[in-house]
Amino acid sequence: MATISKKIRFDKSGYFFIALIVLAFAGFWPSYFSKFFNHTNDFNFYFHFHATMMMLWVIMLIVQPLLIRKKQLHLHRIIGKASYILMPLLLTSVLMVLNNSLKKVPESQLSFNEIIFPCRDFLLLTTAYSIAILYRHQVQIHARAMVITGIVFIEPALFRLFGRVIFKNFPLVGFYTGVTLILGLLVTLIILERKQKTGRWLFPAFLIIDVIVYCIVIFNIPLHFLDPMVIWFSKLSLT
């Protein structure tokens, strides 16, 4: 008799992304949120715009699965269509913050290796969201792709929480702790889905990309052939 393997209940993912809100506040509290209370907030418009878009996206990740659970499919579709505006604004905010920060760095010091994480995040968000929209009528693929956009947000919050708060005197310990947790999360999802057939390729693909990026950073593999692209981007009049 064939056994039926259980599928991950992605309609419950909203509850897990509530934890992401808490994690974001904890991770970004020293460097961002606390500055609103001690009157040291000196961030420019681009950073505030980026933070706002990120928070709106996480809120959407919380609300959308809950609407599915409550059978509010019409409202789910309306918010889904609103993402056609929200995601481009979010991606634009990533480019604006990156462009603005690069303008403050001398051209001789500009290096792709220094911005590999925001570049990877931009690529993953663009790809995962495109897959989610392309397969919006195939729930298992759509849901996994949207979950990946949330995991992309988990990493910077985790790295800041462990590297700048919990292990602030041992930043490398914080970094490797964050790497271990992110890879552990992806491996866990892959194991849980090992018997599924639909959309199972998404998490392994994400894992491979993350492992490649982490190896480049950890082993300090130079990618100087991409440095001219960084210099070109820094000179664009985006900010």
CA proximity to 229, closest of 125, 123, 110, 101: 110
Task: Examine residue 195 and state whether it is found in any structural domain, yes or no.
Answer: yes
Q: How far apart are CA 50 and CA 191, in angstroms?
A: 34
Task: Examine residue 234 and state whether it is found in any structural domain, yes or no.
Answer: no
Task: Examine residue 237 and state whether it is found in any structural domain, yes or no.
Answer: no
Largest CA distance in the chain: 67
Type of residue found at 30: P
Task: Examine residue 232 and state whether it is found in any structural domain, yes or no.
Answer: no
Phi, psi of 218 (to 5 degrees): -65, -40
| Contact in structure between 10 and 150 (CB atoms under 8 Å) | no
Q: Is the sign of the CA dihedral 170, 123, 81, 76 positive or negative? A: negative
- pTM exceeds cut of 0.85: yes
**CB-count exposure of residue 145 (10 Å: 0-12, 13-18, 19+):** buried
| pLDDT, averaged across the chain | 89
Show the domain range for 187.
10-225
pLDDT of residue 1: 36
Task: Examine residue 90 and state whether it is found in any structural domain, yes or no.
Answer: yes
Task: Examine residue 32 and state whether it is found in any structural domain, yes or no.
Answer: yes
Structure tokens at 194: 């090992």
Task: Examine residue 62 and state whether it is found in any structural domain, yes or no.
Answer: yes
- Within its chain, how far is the Cα of 102 from the centroid? 20
Q: Which residues of the chain have pLDDT under 50?
A: 1-5
Number of domains in the chain: 1
pLDDT of residue 114: 94
Residues 6+ apart with CB under 8 A from 6: none
Task: Examine residue 137 and state whether it is found in any structural domain, yes or no.
Answer: yes
Count the residues in the chain. 239
Q: Count CA within 13 A, CB hemisphere, residue 26.
A: 15
Q: At what angle do helices 139-160 and 13-28 cross, to 10 degrees?
A: 20
Instruction: Enumerate long-range contacts of 135-138, CB under 8 Å, 24 or more apart.
Output: 135/199, 136/80, 138/198, 138/199
230-175-49 Cα angle (round to 5): 50
